[in-house]
Amino acid sequence: MKKLILLLFTTLILFSGCDNVKQKKEEPVIGKKNLTLTSDRMTPEVLWSFGRVSDPQVSPDNKTVLYGISYYDIPLNKGNRDLYTLDIKTNKVNQITKTAKGEYSAVWRADGKKINFLYCGQLWEMNPDGTNRKQITSVEGGITGFKFSPDMTKLLYTKEVKVSKTVHDIYPDLPEATGRIMNDLMYRHWDQWVDTYSHVFYADYDGEKISNDIDINKGELYQTPLKPWGGIEQVAWTPDSKTIAYTCKKLYGKAATLSTNSDIYFYNLETKKTKNMTKGMMGFDIAPSFSPDGNYMAWESMERDGYESDKNRLFIMNLKNGNLTYATKNFDQNVGNITWNPDSKIIYFTSDWHGSFQIYKYILNTGEIVQITHGVQDYRGIALAGDRIIAPMQKITLPTELFSINLENGESHQITFTNKDLLDQLEMGKVEERWIKTKDNKDLQILVIYPPHFDKNKKYPTLLYCKGGPQGPLSQSFHYRWNYQIMAANDYIIVAPARRGVSGFGQAWQEQISKDYHGKSMQDYLDAIDAMAKEPFVDADHLGAIGASAGGWAVYYLAGNHNGRFKAFIAHDGIFNEEAQYLETDEMWFENWDKGGPFWEKNNKVAQDVYAHSPHKFVDKWDTPILCIHGQKDYRVAVTQGMTAFNAAVLKGVPAEFLYFPDENHWVLQPQNGILWQRTFFEWLDRWLK
């Protein structure tokens, strides 16, 4: 439904264990464990043992990289994140924190002499070697993000603020009442009830403590940053330390759920006045980034209101005269991770193309866009280090590690080896790119992942992977649930088509799925599996289809429209009943754009065609075993979607199973739940496909 950022919610689940700074009792410290495996095949337990590298930050002198690694403890059913530094010249790694609560959002102080970070909801600082930890803030309720002004005299931070009355405020004599009274929409979002709003504060900073806090969003029922995906990258200081730029969608309730129109606002610290800098730009405008010389602001911008998967464009504003430059007008790709060169003449960014995320640069004086990196991998961030970029990179065969990239020729080499001991014991399946012609004569990319020790003379049960989104990339992601390698390790071939709706093939390709889930994208799936079924090593009598979210929609739809191709289905958090989904979900702009409008508009032919092809309309044709999985805290696709699909299968006499998580959202984030998910997943497939 939305372009999902796993790191954000991995951080949230880890951070949630912090109740206060002073620990009430001694807690075990979670970190890396040295494991000796009994097999070279991936297992759920091995998958949850990988260290998860994130958020590289280069020191001001370009000599050291600061980054975090999260580890999970399965028996404790929790995770923790510690901080590490790496000497760029020698590649020497030092672990600088080892605590039970975890450190987040760590950055270098401007002079490089200190590291600032969040610990248990407050801002702390320490020496680069981890010594002399000191708490900077004691903000009631804690803070969620921070940035020091360039001159280090001010601190901005984000915090959750209650700005609307609850039942207990209205009726203080009912302290045990658990009811909620709603009188507008957007009362719950993603996996939380909307009880608070994220606001931006700033305060004076004297090098030791903060004072004179000011809420620049005071009294507003608006979110800054935008929930649920936005972080501190949506807030920035101007280089002169006089202005705070922030992303905000100044809409509330029904209006907020119908629109994606966010803007970038400037708040002047001297005048206390706010100005909308992107007024009239009607889609998402996010992530302001200022050139070091202070002359320009760059940001990510979408054109159309209500379309969350519109082309993500690079825009640049000349702050002296207000002139705008649409920098990627002739670049039919999305833009992310905008990063300025110190000379203010080049902007670096990441973009996906044909199943990989690469790094590009935009040259301001010529308007030229140059691709820096090549190859098959996902670069998911940019941290400049002199003549190099330090970037987190992952592949289908490699969990995220840090790589050093030459800015001139794009050559890269790995500089962290967090999971080498585990990877050296594992046999990964081969990943192959194929291209076929679709039924309408289009070129369709397919990723095929083979089992370890693949034998071309054997026949393997094969899984059609139906991607979620429905828009967004099908790339080299190393996922911690929908992991291709663990599927392959269980002796399945995986077929992952970049069907209509996938990004990285031009905006026209991506837009073909909107209002037509049941058309070209479904045919792409069938074309892909039919092509692979002709291979002698594919057991065409034992095919399965699996997917989550919009991929779950595809599974439910294929269950009634597959003409006997498949012998098993698995749908996780999938949409089953489109009419119910329209009234159950949280973000109505998505439903209106991708479905064409509400189901009660009988004269709306586009919408009526969409609802006529809702998966639940084809239950009469269901005859194939199906596993339904759903989380109670999923407010994007409500749990009733999974329940009703399961109920329909049972009533039809179709073999079915329902895996229910009362404490998970659209994903599965807890270690033991994740392992339960994997075990149930493969037990179901093995029962019907082997």
Q: Using DSSP, how many helices (H) and how many strands (E) does the chain show?
A: 14, 39
Annotate 363-397 with b (16+ C-beta within 10 A) or e (fewer). ebeeeebeebbeeebbbbbbbbbeebbbbbbbbbb
**Using the 8-state DSSP alphabet, how is residue 416 labeled?**
-
Q: Spot the catalytic one: 55, 378, 516, 634.
A: 634
Q: How many Cβ atoms from other residues are within 10 Å of residue 33's Cβ?
A: 12
**Type and span of the H or E element at 550:** helix 550-559
- Strand 296-301 to strand 568-572: parallel, antiparallel, or no bridges (unpaired)? unpaired
Whole-angstrom CA distances from 544 to 122, 397, 463 are 48, 23, 5
Alpha carbons 28 and 80: distance in angstroms, whole number: 10
C-alpha to C-alpha distance for 133 and 118, rounded to whole angstroms: 12
Cis amide prior to 399 (ω within 30 degrees): no
Find residue 384's DSSP bridge partners.
389
Q: Strand ranges (DSSP E) for 309-422?
A: 313-318, 324-326, 336-340, 346-353, 356-363, 369-371, 378-379, 383-385, 388-395, 398-406, 412-414
Classify the C-alpha dihedral 215-219-224-229 as positive or negative: positive
Task: Quickly list DSSP for 433-494.
Answer: EEEEE-TTS-EEEEEEEPPTT--TTS-EEEEEEE--SSSB---S---SSS-HHHHHHTT-EE
The residue from 49, 301, 404, 549 that is catalytic is 549
CB proximity list for 557: less than 8 A, separation 6 or greater:
517, 518, 522, 613, 615, 618
- Is omega for the bond preceding 228 within 30 degrees of 0, making it cis? yes
* 518 tagged catalytic: no
State the DSSP H helix or E strand holding residue 582, giving kind and residue range, or none if neither. Answer: helix 578-584
Q: Are 231 and 8 in contact (CB under 8 A)?
A: yes
CA dihedral 504, 508, 509, 510 (to 10 degrees): 70
Across the beta sheet with 656-661, what order do the strands follow? 431-437, 443-449, 493-497, 460-466, 538-548, 568-572, 626-631, 656-661
Q: What is the largest CA-CA distance in the chain?
A: 75
Which residue's entry shows tokens 């401007």? Answer: 110
- Are residues 164 and 221 in contact, defined by beta-carbon separation less than 8 angstroms? yes
Question: Do residues 635 and 188 lie in contact, with contact meaning Cβ atoms separated by under 8 Å?
Answer: yes
521 assigned to active site: no
CA atoms within 13 A on the CB side of 271: 8
Residue 543, phi then psi, degrees to nearest 5: -110, 145
As beta bridge partners, residue 103 has 119
* Residue found by looking up tokens 């209002």 in the block: 515
- Is residue 620 flagged as an active site residue? no
Residues 6 or more apart whose Cβ sits within 8 Å of residue 316? 296, 297, 298, 324, 325, 327, 347, 364
Q: Which residues are catalytic?
A: 549, 634, 666
